[in-house]
Chain A
Amino acid sequence: MIQLVELNKFFEEKHVLKNINANFLPGVANLVIGASGGGKSVLVKTMVGLEKPSSGQVLFEGQDYHNLEYQEQQTLRREIGMLFQGTALFDSLTVEQNVEFPLLMFSNMSKEERMDRVNLCLSRVNLINANKKTPAEISGGMKKRVGIARAIALNIKYLFCDEPNSGLDPLTSRVIDTLLHDITKEFGITTIINSHDMKTVKDIGEHIVFIHQGQKWWEGSKDDLIEAQKSNPELDAFVKASF
């Protein structure tokens, strides 16, 4: 489980994350939702260690991530996969090399074993016959799939996705959502998806954290969402505006 304890983040004078306490449940798709500019991306970046919190803790199975020794932090990072908003594929490498990259860096697999794993991951995201293409030669949806394949190439425990549907058409968005849901269940990983797409919430969300103006406004299961809307006008406005 990942826990956030009184997490605060300032950018100079601007208070971006305000005293956030939240839990992200293991083995399910946890969704961080909220309007653009509300602090979702900063929250996810702080959780994966790309931003340092001004105060508070990010606990991975009880370990305070930001207070670990450098080497311990690097080891924990190898259990984290991330799908970036812009996919962040290495543009000098082919699709195959992108997926192979974490294996090359952190496993002792032979070339054949690495290729088997690469092909398994690529077939898992339904990407075939694209091994030798470069990121510039494939579509946005395919890039997202390569990003997911790269993220799961190592046996990760946590998968973070920053706006996985941004820039995709509704049909491809649903395909990516389904893929993320299936991978979460199949590999038993803790998935944290940052999104403002209520269709994603409806389709795959299990545990929801609603962020509004840098604060955690509401947290609960998808089933509790409709009930919560009645007593939470900000959440209600966000949900209604999204449909």
Chain B
Amino acid sequence: MMNIFSEVGRYILFMRYVFKRPERGRVFWNMLLREMNLMGVDSLVVVILIAIITGAVTTVQTASQLASDSGILPPSLFPMAIVGSVVGSSSVLELAPTITCLVLAGKIGANIASEIGNMRVSEQIDAYEVMGINSVGFVSFPKILAGVLVIPCLIVISNFLLIFGGLIAAKLTGIMTMDEYVTGLRSSFVPLYAKVLMVKSYVFAFIITSLSCFQGYYTIGGALEVGEAGTKAVTKICVTILLFDLIIAKLLL
């Protein structure tokens, strides 16, 4: 238990140094663009694939549970349009922000932790310090800001593709008409859900990038520990995301 408090304390101290004014605006800007490209463009394909497949699976499974021959529910209790409603709501509230961020934790989080961990063990971070550069801010701030700018965009894209994936699955499997799906989708739209989606997006983006920077920065040892830093970062990010998922849901819904 003391370990958790000590870790949280170290994280807060770390964050104090992240948001100091960058030494050189131009260098910071170049690093920010590079990070946005790495996080955004390079993650787009995996986000698209995951979103479409998850949307399709959710549609097929929800329809299966509502189908009259499933044995779970009495025949014809619900109209099939409700599938669109369930997919729409769960995409906005849970699947798009949480599933996408858990995937991005594995991709972006592990990548950042390993990169900074490698810089730490090869003394590159010490080199920044000796030059008089605030190494915490220099290596972490562009990554955190890039994540907070780019990951919410990925989540919004993911949300649309989840719904689109559901639509494709509905059409290809013939479990309902497109009209039924869209009707259900429209009936379930609540503007508050969009706010929840955006709040989760920004909070999760911050968790992914800041925790991975923190984990990488305090790597001690060699190649083995760099690998471990990536794994530890992903584990911590996943647990923290799920914890904040619950907190945000409880506070906003």
Segment at the B interface, from A6-14, A55-63, A74-82: A74-82
Give the distance in Å from the alpha carbon of A104 to the alpha carbon of B126 in the complex. Answer: 18
Pair A106/B27 contact, Cβ less than 8 Å: no
> Considering the complex, which residues of chain A in the window 116-133 have a beta carbon less than 8 Å from any beta carbon of chain B?
none
* A105 B23 Cβ-Cβ under 8 A: yes
In the complex, chain B residues whose CB is within 8 Å of the CB of A48:
130
Q: Cβ of A49 and Cβ of B124 under 8 Å apart?
A: no
Q: Is B127 an interface residue (CB 8 A)?
A: yes
Residue of A nearest to B127 (CB): A88
Q: Report if B131 contacts A (CB, 8 A).
A: yes
Cβ–Cβ contact B24 & A77, under 8 A: no
Q: Judge whether A105 and B127 touch: CB under 8 Å.
A: no
Q: How far is the CA of A82 from the CA of B128 in the complex (A)?
A: 10
In the complex, A26 has a CB within 8 A of chain B = no
Assembled-state Cα–Cα distance A73/B123 (Å): 20
Q: How far is the CA of A102 from the CA of B133 in the complex (A)?
A: 10
| Across-interface contacts of B24 in A (CB, < 8 A) | 104-105
Q: B residues within 8 A CB of A90?
A: 124, 127
In the complex, how many residue pairs between chain A and chain B have their CB atoms under 8 Å apart?
Answer: 52
Contact pattern, B 122-162, Cβ under 8 Å of A = 1, otherwise 0: 11101101111110000000000000000000000000000
A82 and B127 contact, Cβ closer than 8 Å, known pairs A74-B132, A105-B133: yes
A106–B130 CA distance with the chains assembled, in angstroms? 13
Also in contact, A50 and B132, with CB within 8 A (given A105-B23, A105-B27): no
Candidates A91, A104, A106; contact of B124 at CB < 8 Å: A91
Chain A residues within 8 Å of B127, by CB: 82, 84, 88, 90
Output the residue of A45, A75, A84, A160 with the most chain B CB within 10 A: A84
Provided the pairs A104-B27, A105-B27 are in contact, do residues A88 and B132 lie with their beta carbons within 8 angstroms? no
Q: What residues of A have a CB within 8 angstroms of the CB of B132 in the complex?
A: 73-78, 80, 106
A interface majority secondary structure:
mixed
CA distance A102 to B27 in the complex (A): 11
Q: Please, which residue of chain B has its CB at the minimum distance from the CB of A76?
A: B132
Q: How far is the CA of A106 from the CA of B134 in the complex (A)?
A: 13
Interface size on A, residues (CB 8 A): 25
- Report Cα–Cα, A85/B130, bound state, in Å: 14
What CA separation (Å) do A104 and B23 show in the bound complex? Answer: 10
Take A105-B24, A105-B27 as given contacts and tell me if A88 and B129 are in contact as well, using a CB distance cutoff of 8 Å: no
Task: Give residues 80-138 of B contacting A (CB, 8 Å).
Answer: 122-124, 126-127, 129-134
Q: With an 8 A cutoff between CB atoms, is A188 at the interface?
A: no
Cα A184 to Cα B94 in complex, Å, equals 63
- A residues 78-123 near B (Cβ < 8 Å) are 78, 80-82, 84-86, 88-91, 102, 104-106
CB distance from B29 to the nearest CB of A (A): 12
One of A78, A89, A91 near B131 (C-beta < 8 A): A78
Q: Which chain A residue has the least Cβ–Cβ distance from B118?
A: A91
Contact B130 A82 (CB under 8 A): yes
Residue in A48, A85, A102, A105 whose Cβ sees the most chain B Cβ within 10 Å: A105
Q: Which of chain B's residues have a CB closer than 8 A to the CB of A50?
A: 126, 129-130
A85 and B123 in contact (CB under 8 A), knowing A102-B131, A105-B131? yes
Query: What 5 A-B pairs are tightest by C-beta distance, nearest first?
Result: A77-B132, A88-B123, A88-B127, A74-B132, A82-B130
Could you list 20 A-B pairs, sorted by A, with CB under 8 Å?
Answer: A48-B130, A49-B129, A50-B126, A73-B132, A75-B132, A76-B132, A77-B132, A78-B131, A80-B130, A82-B126, A84-B127, A85-B123, A88-B122, A88-B123, A91-B122, A91-B124, A104-B24, A105-B27, A105-B131, A106-B23
Which A residues are within 8 Å of any B CB, using their own CB?
45, 48-50, 73-78, 80-82, 84-86, 88-91, 102, 104-106, 160
